Structure 1
Amino acid sequence: MQPGLDPREMRASDKDRDRVADILREAFAEGRLTPEEHAERLDAVYRAKTLGELEPLVRDLPVAPGVAPQVVAPTAARPQHTPATQPPPPLVAIFSNSKVEGRWRLPDAVNAVSVFSEMKIDLRQCEFATPEVDLTANAIFGALELRLPRGVVVRSYGVPLFGEYKVEQDAAEESGAVVVNVRGVALFGSVKIVR
């Protein structure tokens, strides 16, 4: 870190954003955030460029030690690396229609939310970084459709509340296949996982 640089001005990483998104997901599941607050904060998470922008989004929520992005000066310089593929785009649609597709590296935890929107996410060209992925898919007065490649094992834990949470399964599970754990809620909306 450069001398005199405020730690809050440090650029946030994808991992920092994912940790904050996980905190918000837990707070939403526990009833600490309304659907509107959750969607608003999640949108801000994926627009945040610095750690200082992420910090206020979880300041009023209980956070396990080491989970929130730390706004402290690092003791050693961090190694720089260039990913083989593009990082994932923000998977948020609020009062809009959105389609996300292309080749990017899928991290071990992904959050997608559609609020009063129609969103289509195509993951068939994605590179899976880990053998197991936790995918949170929430549709609030909206529709969210995720396309997964064939051969991926899907385990659904989604909950429909006055809506539909539908997962299209493959005929047979392949041993050694990537596992995608789908969680979330369809509140007056629909979530569909298709092949």
Structure 2
Amino acid sequence: MNHAAAHLTDRDRDSAVELVQQAYADGRLNPAELEQRLELALTATSAQELEPIVGDLPPAEVVRLGSTGGRVVRTGDWDVPRRLRIDSEYGRVRLDLSQALIRHPRIDIELWLTYGGGVIILPAGASANADGVRTGWGSVIFKPAGRRRPGGLHVQITGELAYGRLTIRNSRK
């Protein structure tokens, strides 16, 4: 058996559950289909078992932002997408989620920063995980208080920082 192909991560399962829940919220699944697919997703033991559960559902759209030398800044009352990818070669990134409109229980932020750095400010009660961020000469400073809470916002951060620094903290308000 090919163990690499059969391996199922918590992230795979979480993604499948979120796709099913979004399809229900969008009216593409009825309550019985929602219940059936969620049960199958939560009891799946391999990545192959997830494919028929979500194979007919569209993936969450990724919003892409980029900069070569400028800044990427989002603050105040901005609409946060479910998935956000930011590419910046020399610029800085500042994402302030503390007053933003967030419609999803989990958001994924993918950062590809070569020389620039970034700051992500979480709203009160939110949790985050930056274990998926790879660093070269860069660093990740992780300051959020508390663990993931059922029903609370969770921010999953992935990507790569070659030389920059990423700071993740809670809002000071």
Runs of 4+ deviating beyond 4 Å? none
Alignment root-mean-square deviation, CA: 2.7
Q: Percent identical across equivalent pairs?
A: 18
Could you list the runs of 5+ residues in structure 1 that have no partner in the other structure? Answer: 1-65, 70-87
User: Is 1:161 aligned to 2:136, yes or no?
Assistant: yes
The structure 1 residue matched to 2:103, chosen from 107, 118, 129, is 129
1:16-95 mapped onto 2 (5 Å cutoff): 91-95=65-69
User: 1:98 Cα shift?
Assistant: 4.3
The structure 2 residue matched to 1:119, chosen from 86, 89, 93, is 93
User: 1:109 Cα shift?
Assistant: 0.5
1:32-61 CA deviation, whole Å, 9 max, x = no partner?
A: xxxxxxxxxxxxxxxxxxxxxxxxxxxxxx
Q: Which has the higher strand share?
A: 2
Aligned residues: 112
User: 1:192 Cα shift?
Assistant: 1.6
User: Is 1:185 aligned to 2:163, yes or no?
Assistant: no
1:77-97 CA deviation, whole Å, 9 max, x = no partner?
A: xxxxxxxxxxx8x64332123
Could you list the runs of 5+ residues in structure 2 that have no partner in the other structure? Answer: 1-57
SS in structure 2 at match of 1:117? coil
1:114-157 CA deviation, whole Å, 9 max, x = no partner?
A: 22112222121112121111111221111111111121110112
- Once residues 106 and 121 of structure 1 are traced to their aligned partners in structure 2, the CA distance between those partners, rounded to angstroms, is 10
In structure 1, give the amino acid aligned to 2:134.
Answer: V
- Once residues 102 and 124 of structure 1 are traced to their aligned partners in structure 2, the CA distance between those partners, rounded to angstroms, is 8
- Once residues 93 and 121 of structure 1 are traced to their aligned partners in structure 2, the CA distance between those partners, rounded to angstroms, is 14
User: 1:99 Cα shift?
Assistant: 2.9
Q: Please, what TM-score do these two structures have when normalized by structure 2?
A: 0.56
The structure 2 residue matched to 1:147, chosen from 121, 125, 130, is 121
Counterpart contact for 2:105–2:152, Cα < 8 Å: yes
- Once residues 125 and 188 of structure 1 are traced to their aligned partners in structure 2, the CA distance between those partners, rounded to angstroms, is 29
In structure 2, give the amino acid aligned to 1:174.
Answer: R
User: Closer, same or farther in 2 for the Cα pair 1:160/1:118, shift >3 Å?
Assistant: same
SS in structure 1 at match of 2:141? strand
User: 1:169 Cα shift?
Assistant: 2.1
* Equivalent in the alignment of 1:138: 112
- Once residues 131 and 143 of structure 1 are traced to their aligned partners in structure 2, the CA distance between those partners, rounded to angstroms, is 26
* Equivalent in the alignment of 2:5: none
In structure 2, give the amino acid aligned to 1:176.
Answer: G
